């Protein structure tokens, strides 16, 4: 945890306060410098284990007793290449340990480190690797969210958090997040405590406060479960872990971020039950549902779902895939990342860092002879053109796009450089949507949407380069109802408030 700003110099390796402690830290820095020089003399690499990332999989190859006896510790594992640090590289016990790892089939890369560096790794064994297995609760009552109910739950579980058992603390938070229908759990460090917040129906609620010590154990357990570097806190990391609630598997996508007061963590709760949504339950009007179903019954064409982050685009896409998912169709998705596993559907996750983006992935999918393709998002000209070409050659393609409304998706694609001829021929339907807070105590979100079927007259307008205003007028002449008009109807029927409808007007 980083202390409040002051005139004193910032000490990077812990916030020490006493003069003796500061002197010890400075001495350790000199010690590490000497060890680094010694490593160079011996012709080995140097590593500072107090700051270097340490792999859990590497630590599982040994025990703390073996580490103490051999002054040797494995800290990084990449395939069959094992990086091992030793503070006594000339000793027989070190050579024996290295030979043992080689007999296990690993190619060993030797590093020189300080004794203090090895000692600093002991906490990982204590916290994560040598613990007695704990039987964790997996059953919980699910129901409508109540802030008081959640806060009472954590008060009742106070003993779990006081004992500092990392696995049990994480399990309690996982259970209540799922039970409350939370989409995300935030751990936000402040100067003196860590605020735990849950996002339910789009809003964040404070549900629990943790001490720095509690958070150290809890965050360590989260990172262990997600396969993250345990001692890496000054760089963002991403991972994922699974857990069981009421007999079904839930995934938690983990994101860490360095901040002023420590490492913040956000869990994205992915409940497979939410992927089983059907179109009827989402809140579309009968007219909109009929337009969507008509487009889905076609053998070819591009269907776009637009809207800002958190507007329910993924749920709409998955409901469409559920309708299309029959034994006579081959469906392949390209997602970033895969949020829910769908039975009977081939799902591929893009890896931008590895050069596997949407455009490249889409070209690869076309060689797999699919009937239906779902592309997580159209972000560039390459992806847009490939999607439209696929739509023109006998594939039904579903994707998302960031645009303010259905009509503005057309100039958005044209601005990317898509040919008007290809766009007018391949585009079939554009759905634009928002989730607004409904009236009532629970504030359950209400879907407000518009569905624009691309008629022959609209295709002609696109081909002729008509303006956004002209495109809208053409759409309205065919009976198109805008999202704002749908919102006015919801307001008139008392489903949403005037404050919420203003969000559509801005």
Residue that terminates a domain, selected from 251, 270, 289: 270
Residue 387: in which H helix or E strand, if any? helix 381-392
Of the candidates 271, 139, 251, the one whose C-alpha atom is nearest the C-alpha of residue 200 is: 271
Residue 141 belongs to a domain: no
Do 301 and 259 have their domain in common? no
Please check whether residues 265 and 357 belong to one and the same domain. Answer: no
Tell whether 455 and 371 lie within a shared domain.
yes
Q: Is residue 484 included in any domain, yes or no?
A: yes
3-state helix, strand, coil in the chain (%, to 5): 40, 25, 35
Check whether residue 327 and residue 199 sit in a common domain. Answer: no
What pLDDT does residue 309 have?
Answer: 87
Residues 377 and 437 reside in one and the same domain? yes
What is the DSSP secondary structure assignment for residue 496, as one 8-state letter?
B
If asked whether residues 370 and 392 sit together in one domain, one would say: yes
**How many Cα atoms within 13 Å fall on the side-chain side of residue 36?**
9
Q: Indicate if 305 and 438 belong to the same structural domain.
A: yes
Q: Is the pTM of this model over 0.85?
A: no
Cα–Cα distance for residue pair 481/11, rounded to 1 Å:
61
Domain total for the chain? Answer: 3
Each residue's pLDDT tens digit, 104-121: 889 999 999 999 999 888
Number of residues that this document lists for the chain:
506
d(CA 235, CA 37): 27
Cβ–Cβ under 8 Å, residues 426 and 461: no
Please say whether the beta carbons of 449 and 486 come within 8 A.
yes
Does residue 136 form part of some domain? Answer: no
CA distances from 161 to 19, 155, 209, 214, 341 (A): 33, 10, 10, 7, 33
2 belongs to a structural domain: no
Q: Is 12 part of a structural domain of the chain?
A: no
**In a shared domain, residues 286 and 347:** yes
Could you say which of 270, 303, 320 is where a domain stops?
270
Question: What CA–CA distances, in Å, run from 86 to 43, 54, 60, 80?
Answer: 13, 14, 17, 19
Low-confidence stretches of the chain (pLDDT beneath 50) = 1-17, 132
Q: What is the 3-state secondary structure (H, E, C) of 318-379?
A: HHHHHHHCCCCCCEEEEECCCCCCCCCCEEEECEHHHCECHHHHHHHHHCCCCCEEEECCCC
Buried b (16+ CB within 10 A) or exposed e, 416-429: bebbbebbbbbbbb
In DSSP terms, which residues pair with 243 in a beta bridge?
A: 250
Q: Which pLDDT score is estimated for 21? A: 64
| Residues spanned by the domain of 197 | 147-270
Which residues pair with residue 76 across a beta bridge?
83
- Claim to verify: residue 260 and residue 286 sit in the same structural domain: no
Structural contact between residues 118 and 73, judged by C-beta atoms closer than 8 angstroms: yes
Q: Using CB atoms within 10 A of its CB, is residue 35 exposed (0-12), middle (13-18) or buried (19+)?
A: buried
User: Are 350 and 413 found together in one domain?
Assistant: yes
pLDDT of residue 401: 96
The CATH number that applies at residue 120 is 3.30.300.160
pLDDT value at residue 18: 55
Residue with tokens 């094992």: 82
Instruction: Classify residue 140: in a domain, yes or no.
Output: no
- Give the CATH number, domain containing residue 170: 3.30.450.90
Q: Are residues 190 and 337 in the same domain?
A: no
Residue 443: per-residue pLDDT = 67
CATH number assigned to the domain comprising residue 404 = 3.40.50.300
**CA gyration radius, the chain:** 28
CB under 8 Å to 106, separation ≥6 — which residues?
A: 77, 80, 81, 82
- Cβ(486)–Cβ(434) under 8 Å? no
Q: Are residues 437 and 320 in the same domain?
A: yes
How many CA atoms, within 13 angstroms, populate the side-chain half-sphere of residue 275?
17
Q: Residue 206: inside a domain, yes or no? A: yes
Domain final residue, candidates 100, 129, 158: 129
- State the pLDDT at residue 339: 85
**DSSP labels for 235-303?**
S-EEEEEEEEETTEEEEEEEEEEEETTEEEEEEEEEEGGGGG--GGGTT--HHHHHHHHHHHTSSSEEE
6 within domain boundaries: no
Angle, CA 35 vertex, CA 29 and CA 36 arms, to 5°: 90
């Amino acid at each position: 945890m980083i202390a409040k700003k002051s005139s004193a110099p910032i000490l990077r390796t812990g916030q020490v306060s006493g003069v003796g402690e500061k002197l010890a830290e400075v001495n350790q820095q000199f010690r590490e410098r000497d060890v680094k020089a010694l490593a160079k003399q011996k012709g080995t690499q140097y590593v500072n284990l107090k700051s270097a990332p340490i792999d859990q999989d590497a630590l599982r190859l040994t025990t703390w007793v073996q580490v103490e006896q051999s002054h040797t510790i494995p800290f990084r594992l990449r395939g069959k290449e094992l990086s091992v640090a030793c503070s006594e590289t000339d000793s027989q016990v070190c050579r024996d340990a290295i030979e043992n790892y080689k007999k296990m089939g690993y190619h060993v890369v030797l590093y020189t480190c300080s004794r203090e560096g090895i000692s600093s790794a002991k906490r990982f064994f204590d916290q994560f690797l040598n613990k007695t297995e704990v039987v964790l609760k997996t059953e919980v009552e699910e129901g409508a969210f109540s802030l008081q109910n959640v806060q009472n739950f954590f008060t009742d579980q106070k003993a779990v958090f006081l004992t500092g058992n990392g696995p049990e603390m994480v399990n309690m938070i996982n259970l209540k997040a799922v039970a409350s229908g939370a989409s995300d759990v935030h751990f936000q460090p402040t100067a003196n405590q860590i605020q735990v917040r849950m996002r339910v129906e789009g809003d964040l609620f404070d549900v629990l406060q943790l001490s720095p010590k509690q958070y150290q154990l809890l965050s360590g357990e989260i990172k262990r479960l997600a396969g993250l570097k345990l001692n890496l806190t000054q760089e963002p990391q991403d991972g994922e872990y699974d857990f069981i609630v009421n007999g079904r598997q839930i995934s938690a996508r983990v994101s860490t971020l360095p901040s002023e007061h420590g490492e913040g963590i956000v869990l994205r709760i992915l409940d497979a039950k939410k992927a089983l949504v059907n179109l009827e339950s989402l809140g579309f009007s009968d007219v909109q549902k009929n337009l969507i179903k008509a487009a889905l019954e076609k053998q070819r064409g591009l269907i776009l779902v637009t809207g800002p982050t958190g507007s329910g685009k993924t749920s709409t896409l998955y409901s469409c895939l559920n309708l299309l998912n029959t034994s006579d169709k081959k469906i392949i998705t390209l997602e970033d990342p895969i949020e829910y596993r769908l039975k009977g559907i081939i799902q591929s996750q893009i890896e931008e860092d590895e050069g596997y983006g949407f455009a490249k992935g889409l070209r690869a999918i076309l060689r797999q002879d699919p009937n239906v393709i779902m592309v997580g998002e159209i972000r560039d000209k390459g992806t847009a053109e490939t999607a439209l070409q696929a739509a023109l050659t006998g594939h039904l393609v579903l994707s998302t796009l960031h645009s303010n409304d259905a009509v503005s998706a057309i100039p958005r694609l044209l601005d990317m450089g898509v040919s008007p001829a290809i766009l007018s021929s391949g585009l079939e339907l554009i759905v634009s949507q928002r989730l607004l807070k409904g009236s009532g105590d629970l504030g359950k979100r209400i879907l407000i949407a518009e569905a624009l079927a691309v008629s022959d007259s609209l295709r002609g307008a696109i081909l002729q380069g008509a303006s956004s205003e002209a495109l809208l007028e053409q759409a309205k002449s065919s009976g198109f109802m805008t999202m704002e008009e749908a919102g006015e109807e919801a307001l008139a029927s008392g489903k949403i408030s005037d404050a919420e409808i203003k969000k559509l007007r801005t």
